[in-house]
Structure 1
């Protein structure tokens, strides 16, 4: 079984990994009434307070005990980069064992949508040809506290509420589904006042058992499938996981999810020049999407030469913008809802895994503060 740090690590219990019912169980063992868990949740999440001594409606003895045995700081900001072009902020975060992960804040072009892209694993085991995280390899799963605290620390740093969370950072979330579901239970707890399920998206490369398990959980989050080709052979070249879960199995799981949750999935589709961006490719994708009423999100490719890719990965180039938009229009003519994702953070190390690849544990730690301007 893949290693995960326990919530109790080096003598401290990381409270942000406990849902409210488990927190109530802990406090009950300490002789506290159940409503103390509600109060703690409100302090930690709704108010963003990380100093137990400031939680004024808790008894002094409880505050002292919490400070001795527990911590609310699971991840630490190491470095950050802010795009002068669109305001995207990339964060490098240190975990309790010294490992590093990434999170990305993406502001909306219009409106008040503020999205945080978070990680679910240290590295990734899937080896997708277009992803820099693949070169990091998989080190371990994140626990629920390490997932939840990404949102908490970034929100505190920015000084504004995160409105949407997408599990599209480092790792494959459906290979760490138990911890992801634990984190979602905390995000969506009414006492936390953080997020509703409809503002959470899980992106998967196509882990069929995980899709089915997510459907059976009954949690009505949004599901995005990293597809990138409607052709089985090409998909296998781009994404080795397609050999284990070929398209017919994946599409059956998507059908199951759609019928069970009653919410359409989104197919994510990176366009590569001369590889998957022809009119025939658009027609094949449209046929596939119409089967379950899926939406399509077209994504410009961020080159990953810095990761020294090999094989097909070394040949990948972004499709020209005019071809990307023509592809989107062809999908729409087929009756498919198609959007084009903006190239957020293109002037910083925004490709998934890029900032983590540039850092090693021996590097000096840069303690960022919210008062600093973006850098």
Structure 2
């Protein structure tokens, strides 16, 4: 099917927007509810499937509207963990990736919010590919809908905004997609199973807190020292830790949720006794837990500079690091590497621009 954006895109519109759209056509508002239900509960991708709409309306929608924003190009499945990676093509010929991670008690879909990423984190393949544009709410939602058709809607239990891009730099589309995921008419994902990951945009963290959605928030920390974050996460020079911690405290209090600190272990960079002390000091300031992530290779992006020098901390030291934090009454999880054989593990998503 040839994709087009010349028609009005209905996928990605919130329920309120859909109701307003059908009112603008002279139709009753409940048509918006019906279409919302067809798209997100029945996974309809064409109007002819929507049999409770009048034939004349279905014909009109085919003329002036579209439900297509992405084309699924390929899927890859890890032989080691059954992790599945989806490669999508946008209507303007950009490529993005999403990852489905099956686990014992959950199946998590990791979705992207941007084509590339502007933040240039040195340990992340997406940062090395550069940035082209934000994704629309339709493109964010479509990653879920394709995965739901492929894997079964009822089998996707969690959504994490941890794929390509910084979600809070695409704030409106991210928020619209959350509105759709959490709407009561969409029998899908509850808000306590949605996590947004951010490298730290303080004003947007506070705005998200005030939005009322109360989704979980993961903060890409990777060091509790500004000097180290400045080297591996250039965004820290603009938004230092002190500003982000203030925003995270506000988020935790406003939403009554616990912050997850994501911490990629980098050999001889953030795995010392001083790091343990500073992390302990930080975690005692707000309700939080640490998610430790072994560094995954980004060699497939031919890195240079500091990115080419990064190595993961030895696994024995990672476990020792975690145990010492736990001895300080810090909640720590060690994330299993999933899908690194197909470049689908944390920090590996990337497309080389031609």
How many angstroms does 1:249 deviate by? 1.1
User: What whole-Å deviation, never above 9, does each CA across 1:179-218 have from its counterpart, x for those lacking one?
Assistant: 1001111111111212111111000001111111111112
Tell me the equivalent position of 2:129. Answer: 136
Q: Determine the C-alpha separation between the residues in 2 that align with 1:185 and 1:163.
A: 17
Residues 73 and 9 (structure 1), Cα distance of their counterparts in 2 relative to 1, 3 Å cut: closer
Q: Determine the C-alpha separation between the residues in 1 that align with 2:144 and 2:31.
A: 23
CA RMSD after TM alignment: 1.6
| Stretches (4+) displaced over 6 A | none
- Equivalent residue in structure 2 for 1:123, among 108, 116, 139: 116
SS at match of 1:64: helix
CA contact (8 A) 2:202 2:239 kept: yes
CA contact (8 A) 1:103 1:117 kept: yes
CA contact (8 A) 2:153 2:188 kept: no
User: What whole-Å deviation, never above 9, does each CA across 1:22-58 have from its counterpart, x for those lacking one?
Assistant: 1111111222111111111111111112231121111
How many angstroms does 1:282 deviate by? 1.7
Q: Determine the C-alpha separation between the residues in 2 that align with 1:192 and 1:276.
A: 42
How many angstroms does 1:127 deviate by? 0.6
SS at match of 2:196: strand
Q: Determine the C-alpha separation between the residues in 2 that align with 1:301 and 1:184.
A: 29
Q: Determine the C-alpha separation between the residues in 1 that align with 2:332 and 2:346.
A: 23
CA contact (8 A) 2:157 2:189 kept: yes
Q: Determine the C-alpha separation between the residues in 1 that align with 2:57 and 2:157.
A: 32
Tell me the equivalent position of 2:228. Answer: 234
Equivalent pairs counted in the alignment come to 351
Q: Which runs of 5+ in 1 are unaligned?
A: 1-7, 361-375
How many angstroms does 1:160 deviate by? 4.2
Q: Determine the C-alpha separation between the residues in 1 that align with 2:113 and 2:87.
A: 14
SS at match of 1:139: strand
Tell me the equivalent position of 2:332. Answer: 338
How many angstroms does 1:225 deviate by? 0.4
Are 1:23 and 2:33 counterparts?
no
How many angstroms does 1:339 deviate by? 0.4
Q: Determine the C-alpha separation between the residues in 1 that align with 2:135 and 2:290.
A: 29
- Equivalent residue in structure 2 for 1:34, among 14, 29, 35: 29
SS at match of 1:260: helix
Q: Which runs of 5+ in 2 are unaligned?
A: none
Tell me the equivalent position of 1:323. Answer: 317
How many angstroms does 1:355 deviate by? 6.0
SS at match of 2:170: helix
Alignment of 1:255-274 (within 5 A): 255-274=249-268
Tell me the equivalent position of 2:71. Answer: 76
Tell me the equivalent position of 2:219. Answer: 225
TM-score (ref. length: structure 1): 0.90
CA contact (8 A) 1:266 1:295 kept: yes
Q: Determine the C-alpha separation between the residues in 1 that align with 2:4 and 2:71.
A: 15
How many angstroms does 1:353 deviate by? 7.5
Q: Determine the C-alpha separation between the residues in 2 that align with 1:185 and 1:115.
A: 19
Are 1:164 and 2:155 counterparts?
no
Tell me the equivalent position of 1:301. Answer: 295
Are 1:187 and 2:178 counterparts?
no
How many angstroms does 1:262 deviate by? 1.2
Are 1:49 and 2:44 counterparts?
yes
Q: Determine the C-alpha separation between the residues in 2 that align with 1:238 and 1:10.
A: 38
- Equivalent residue in structure 2 for 1:59, among 51, 54, 66: 54
Which fold has the larger relative contact order, with Cα–Cα distance below 8 Å and residues 6 or more apart in sequence?
1
Alignment of 1:6-17 (within 5 A): 10-17=5-12
- Equivalent residue in structure 1 for 2:190, among 190, 196, 201: 196
Q: Determine the C-alpha separation between the residues in 2 that align with 1:9 and 1:213.
A: 33
- Equivalent residue in structure 2 for 1:291, among 269, 285, 299: 285
Tell me the equivalent position of 1:154. Answer: 147
Q: Determine the C-alpha separation between the residues in 2 that align with 1:32 and 1:45.
A: 21
How many angstroms does 1:13 deviate by? 1.6
SS at match of 2:261: strand
Tell me the equivalent position of 2:82. Answer: 87
